[in-house]
Every structure is written in C-alpha cells, then in structure tokens.
C-alpha cells in the first residue's frame, strides 16, 4: 500500500457510504474516486438529461478499487432525492456522508431574468442542497457529515449576468451554518466548500461560463498561476467528511489558489 493510501485508510472513511449528487462529471465524479481510494463506497446521483456518461464515473471508481451505485435523480424533485438516500441504505446498509454537488449554471442578464429562470436556478442550486441534506440526514443512524458545494460567485464575489446563480450559492452558506447548529446534537457535521475557478465541464462552457480561453486568461490572475482541478476540490470535501475534520462544522472553506485574497493590481 502506498503512503497516500495508508494515510487515507487512517482518516475514518474506510467502510463508510457516501451519497453524492452531481456525480456524472466534474467535482462529483472526482469525489467518488477519492472516496474509493479511501475505502468508502458511494451512491452517485446523476441527472438523466446530463450529457456526461455516469458510466465513466463508475468505471473510474472501480479502477480505484471502490464500489459505486449510479442512481438517476433530479434534485428539483424531493421524492427522487428521498429515493436516492434510501438507495444507499438498501444497497450498502448504511449512510454516513451526503455531498450536494449538483448544480446548473445559466447566464441571464437582469432584463432577461424572469421568474421561471430564477426559480429553476434556486430549485436546483439552493433548494436541491436542502433536499439532499434533509434526505441524507433522515437515513443517518449515527454520526455523519454533510458538505455542500457553493462558489466564489455569490459565496465571495458578485458575478454579472449571473445574479440568480450567485444568490443561490450565497444562500448555501446560510443554510449550512444553520443546519450545522441544528444537527450537531446528532453528531452530524455540516460544512461548505467554496470553489474558485476550477476547470470542469461547467466552467468550460463558453456560453454560460468562462470557457477555455476565459479560464486560461483568468488563471494568470490567480496567485497559484493556474485554475484548479476537480480533484483538488474533491480532496477538500473528502477531508471535511473524514475524521480528520471531526471538530469542524458550520464552516466554509474557499478553494481558489489565493484568488480572493489577492490585492487587485
């Protein structure tokens, strides 16, 4: 066993079971693989309309020596989210970790931001987190961990043409802080990861996000000199759900290579 694998086995995740929404690609997929390397099984929720193949997630998990159950889910539907959490218990006999990584990103200037567009965004990116946490917490019979994926857009900065997205991601921070207090007596910790510019299918979308050239240009403004990877974001989530973070709850960890603390120049 490599030193990295030995360390992972000591973080208390071996034998645990995690539910991950948004696991068809991006941070969710990287996290499923990270859990596999730590000896944890995962139930990966994927949106049926997502163009990314969840089979690639399953294959990557199995290649890392882990177990993974893919389940189609729309986090805008509470019944489907409830079924996702129950699937973990039915398949693996327990549920220890819930990670809300599902999200959508749509560009919409204020003049075009009608009520349906606003409500769709919040239903997935904010209320979807609530549904995931509510369903997972209901199936946890002992201590556990919940993590939401926010964004520096809303979590730290504003973002023009994305007011609905930023509002949802900012709302996640308040939701997590409140649930951390509410669920602490049950031994359930609740935290947030706030990714900066991470190269993912979402950020590579040139219509709704920065696109490849925008990411390359932005990377030069980041103190680390580049944008982040989905694996780097996933490792922070893995840490927050491990015993290494046993006394960490209600916190938001920014993963941005120093972007948000750099003095403008």
Would you please indicate which residues are annotated as catalytic (active-site) residues? 165
Residues in the chain: 265
Q: Are 249 and 184 in contact (CB under 8 A)?
A: yes
Q: What is the rounded distance in angstroms from the CA atom of residue 213 to the CA atom of residue 199?
A: 11
Q: Which of 95, 92, 98 is nearest to 23 (CA)?
A: 98
Residue 98 CA to residue 223 CA, distance in Å, equals 32
Beta bridge partners of 229: 199
Nearest Cα to Cα of residue 44 among 66, 65, 69, 14? 69
Give CA–CA dist 247/7, Å, rounded: 19
- 246-250-255-261 Cα dihedral, nearest 10 degrees: -120
The closest of 102, 99, 94, 84 to 47, measured between CA atoms, is 102
CA–chain centroid gap for 262, Å, is 25
Give the number of C-alpha atoms closer than 13 A to the C-alpha of residue 196, restricted to the C-beta side: 21
């Amino acid at each position: 066993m490599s030193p990295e694998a030995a360390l992972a086995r000591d973080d208390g995740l071996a034998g645990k079971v995690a539910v991950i929404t948004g696991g068809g690609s991006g941070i969710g997929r990287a996290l499923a693989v990270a859990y596999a390397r730590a000896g944890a099984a995962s139930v990966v929720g994927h949106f049926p309309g997502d163009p990314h193949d969840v089979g690639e997630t399953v294959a990557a998990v199995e290649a890392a020596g882990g177990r993974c159950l893919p389940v189609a889910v729309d986090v805008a539907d509470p019944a489907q989210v409830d079924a996702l959490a129950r699937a973990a218990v039915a398949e693996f006999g327990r549920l220890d970790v819930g990670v809300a990584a599902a999200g959508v990103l749509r560009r919409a200037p204020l003049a075009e931001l009608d009520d349906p567009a606003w409500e769709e965004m919040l239903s997935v990116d904010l209320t979807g987190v609530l549904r995931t946490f509510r369903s997972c917490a209901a199936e946890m019979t002992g201590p556990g961990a919940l993590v939401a994926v926010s964004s520096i857009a809303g979590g730290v900065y504003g973002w023009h043409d994305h007011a609905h997205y930023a509002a949802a991601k900012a709302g996640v921070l308040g939701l997590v802080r409140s649930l951390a207090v509410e669920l602490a007596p049950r031994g359930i910790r609740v935290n947030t990861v706030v990714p900066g510019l991470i190269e993912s299918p979402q950020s590579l979308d040139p219509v709704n996000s920065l696109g490849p050239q925008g990411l390359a240009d932005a990377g030069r403004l980041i103190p680390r000199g580049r944008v982040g990877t989905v694996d780097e974001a996933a490792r922070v989530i893995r840490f927050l759900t491990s015993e290494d973070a046993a006394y960490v709850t209600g916190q938001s960890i920014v993963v941005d290579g120093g972007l948000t603390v750099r003095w403008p120049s």
